[in-house]
Structure 1
Amino acid sequence: MKKNVTLIATAAMGLESIVASEVKDLGYEDVTVENGKVIFKADVSAIPRCNLWLRTADRIKVLVGEFEAKTFDELFEKTKAIDWQDYIPEDGEFPVIGKSVKSTLYSVPDCQAIVKKAVVEKLKLKYGIASWLEESGAFYRIEVALLKDIATLTIDASGTGLHKRGYRVGQGEAPLKETLSAALVKLTNWRPEYPLIDPFCGSGTIAIEAALIGQNIAPGFNREFSSEGWHIVPSNLWDKALEEAEDLANYDQPLDITGSDIDHRMVEIASKNAIEAGLGDLVSWKQMQAKDFNPKRENGYLIGNPPYGERLGEKNEVEKMYKDLGVALQNHPSWSVYILTSNEHFETLYGRKATKKRKLFNGFIKTDYYQYFGKKQLD
């Protein structure tokens, strides 16, 4: 049985270093960072642990093989040469998906069919099967990714993307992914003893992710993963990983987290999502305009993903909101402010140049994360 694996934690552009830091925090040191992914070697117990704990990764994949392939024959033979029986049992179900970028083999459907055939041939040979494979067992989704004639073969260990925490029962028109929301919090130096406010909370994702971070609750604790049925990951390893997550959670950590929105319907949705996440009593929700921001405590953190004003007719309204927010924060110099927006004139509208800014992608939208560090003072 396979005991050691090479894993790939995929990441949105700009978040690779955050994901790498999370991987290292779990104790895995052999880490390589590339565009859109973090690669590391570990024993198979890392599969449940990383699925449960990585807050900012998109998904976990097992790297099975990587080689040059410029012809279909080459793709077939090199795929068949891999010891697929080390990963997939006799009854395993293994659909194949694919993608091709700047490669000689540009027909993705053909590449998928060839990889599927090669894996079938190898498994039939190894398991002594003359007819067909039933594929009635656990799920192993194979991906063939071709980039500049290099084929990378992986098996998806997550199933549904890791941003699907399982608590979102409602959402607005442009919800922020849970993984990006967690990254926005982790890119600050917020600690759970400080207040945190999201004045543009929408469906509440930033505040909910902050609460999960504040109490050290594993983000994947209440969902399922495709690799839970894999024979290479014994069920006792999943039990151990879940037990570890329960032991490390600090449910007694008090939090001062508030989510507010101008739309009362979004406030209601956010509240329901928090209850679904098991955080109903930990996050406060209220209807409020950003210009009415007037916190009672010092040294807090404002983290927000306001409307960007990209739709026709919204621009003036959004720009006024940015100006109003800047005016409101002038009275609270101890507060640190973090705003994600695609509006290139945000600093001018807000009235201050950011201490620091970082380029991130919200889906396919290029954004900047504007960071204003507060002047700390005694509470």
Structure 2
Amino acid sequence: MKQYQLYTTMGAGFESVVAKELNTLGYETRTENGRVFFQGGQTDIVKTNLWLRTADRVKILLKEFKATDFDTLYNEVYELDWAALLPVDAKFPVQGRSVRSKLHSEPGIQSIVKKAIVNKMAQQYHRRGFLPESGNEYPLDVHLYKDTARISLDTTGASLFKRGYRIEHGGAPLKENFAASLLKLTPYDGSHPLIDPMTGSGTLAIEAALIAKNIAPGTWRKFAFDGFDWFDPKLHDVALAEAKSKEKALESPILASDIDQSILEIAKLNANNAGVLQDIDFKQVAVKDFTTDLKNGVIIANPPYGKRLKDKESVAELYHQMGTVFQKYPDFSQYYLVGDPDFEKEFGKRATKKRKLFNGNLRVDFYQYWANKK
């Protein structure tokens, strides 16, 4: 089976998390900013798309070369055997990005790459410069960084965070792979209780249940590779059946609460779509009224950020309530994703560790309070 140079993309700051996931799946990796590289064939393309919880996409690196002018870019792209990758009717959108490179016009870069592919395919398929682009989609991507160009084929399609279970969401939900990445930064593996006391649309609790039950996060969706005419269609079905056989029962409780009953109904719908509704105990509870008899677990939350001025006072009060309530549970490791630099002051305790992250374009901190081990 042909081997490819593959790589995953991910949110800023999660490279080590994705690399660790790939290592656990059995791959040797090389990491650079925003990408983790590994080798694999079609089976591995299916496996990583199906199982990676924390990445955005899995891509095939087709070619890497220096390009400081459009002629070089055109010629290098033209040299590739495009007919081996794209059928005559392929739809092949080209995304272009340029960072710190002489060729800085992204529309210009996209246009030249597209032109080179069209001309090469017209020659290979004996067409007169017209390609219908009426068939399946083969998403291509050209990325220039410091004058080095990379041409890639995206095997994923819609980003991996689009699991397919979240039909409804609250006002500002965490992306599914972002939530999974936060969980991977905790010791959570399903063997101890997990509590999400501000669950919103339920993403953290649902991703925790998927981890605990060893359910592949790509179970509910199709991928771009499903439409590639040269890709073995049996591989996806085989991988899915194998993944189903590895699912297991929940070992320890998962609690998800929120003050808002209407958003809890949305969370339940999402959990039902993910097949884990019976595994999560949903309750309408305000933070100030929260209590639990559970011990030695993980508390994780994405509380409101209070970015609007009128919200700041109520959010500060919420953070104070969190400190009062959750500091009563020192045997729980606690993790809070917050956009307020004054969080520790309001919470009433300095974090063991703080990690800078970006939730979309919003700069946030992941405050980590490690459990007191007796």
Aligned partners of 1:330, 1:142: CA distance in 2, in Å? 50
Aligned partners of 1:191, 1:213: CA distance in 2, in Å? 7
Moved over 4 A (4+): none
Q: Who is 1:70 aligned against?
A: 68
The answer to whether the 8 Å contact 1:165/1:222 transfers is yes
Aligned partners of 1:325, 1:131: CA distance in 2, in Å? 64
**Residue type at the aligned position of 1:306:** P
The answer to whether the 8 Å contact 1:166/1:223 transfers is yes
Matched, 1:287 2:284: yes
Residues 11-68 of structure 1, C-alpha deviation per residue, up to 9 Å, x if partnerless? 1011010101111111111x11111111111112111111111000011111111111
Matched, 1:83 2:74: no
Matched, 1:127 2:125: yes
The answer to whether the 8 Å contact 1:257/1:282 transfers is yes
Aligned partners of 2:189, 2:10: CA distance in 1, in Å? 24
The answer to whether the 8 Å contact 2:287/2:322 transfers is yes
How many angstroms does 1:130 deviate by?
4.5
The answer to whether the 8 Å contact 1:307/1:318 transfers is yes
How many angstroms does 1:231 deviate by?
3.0
Q: What TM-score, normalized by structure 1, do the two folds share?
A: 0.95
The answer to whether the 8 Å contact 2:156/2:224 transfers is yes
Q: Who is 1:179 aligned against?
A: 177
> Runs of 5+ in structure 2 lacking a partner?
none
Aligned ranges for residues 309-324 of structure 1 at < 5 Å? 309-324=306-321
Matched, 1:3 2:17: no
Q: What TM-score, normalized by structure 2, do the two folds share?
A: 0.96
The answer to whether the 8 Å contact 1:193/1:256 transfers is no
Matched, 1:300 2:297: yes
Q: Who is 1:208 aligned against?
A: 206
Residues 81-109 of structure 1, C-alpha deviation per residue, up to 9 Å, x if partnerless? 12223322333221212122222222222
How many angstroms does 1:212 deviate by?
0.3
Q: Who is 1:328 aligned against?
A: 325
How many angstroms does 1:117 deviate by?
1.4
Residue range with higher mean Cα deviation, 83-92 or 66-75 = 83-92
Aligned partners of 2:180, 2:80: CA distance in 1, in Å? 37
The answer to whether the 8 Å contact 2:254/2:281 transfers is yes
> Runs of 5+ in structure 1 lacking a partner?
none
Residue range with higher mean Cα deviation, 231-240 or 333-342 = 231-240
**Residue type at the aligned position of 1:64:** L
The answer to whether the 8 Å contact 2:119/2:129 transfers is no
Q: 2:246 aligns with which of 245, 248, 263?
A: 248
How many angstroms does 1:200 deviate by?
1.1
How many angstroms does 1:115 deviate by?
0.7
C-alpha spacing 1:74/1:37, structure 2 compared with 1 (3 Å): same
How much identity, in percent, do the aligned residues show? 46
How many angstroms does 1:338 deviate by?
0.5
Q: 1:258 aligns with which of 255, 258, 278?
A: 255
How many angstroms does 1:371 deviate by?
0.9
Aligned ranges for residues 1-379 of structure 1 at < 5 Å? 3-29=2-28, 31-130=29-128, 132-250=130-248, 252-376=249-373
C-alpha spacing 1:376/1:298, structure 2 compared with 1 (3 Å): farther
How many angstroms does 1:148 deviate by?
2.2
**Residue type at the aligned position of 1:234:** D
Equivalent residue of 2:278, what SS?
coil
Aligned partners of 1:5, 1:123: CA distance in 2, in Å? 22
Equivalent residue of 1:273, what SS?
helix
Aligned partners of 2:236, 2:99: CA distance in 1, in Å? 36
How many aligned residue pairs are there?
374
Aligned partners of 1:112, 1:332: CA distance in 2, in Å? 54
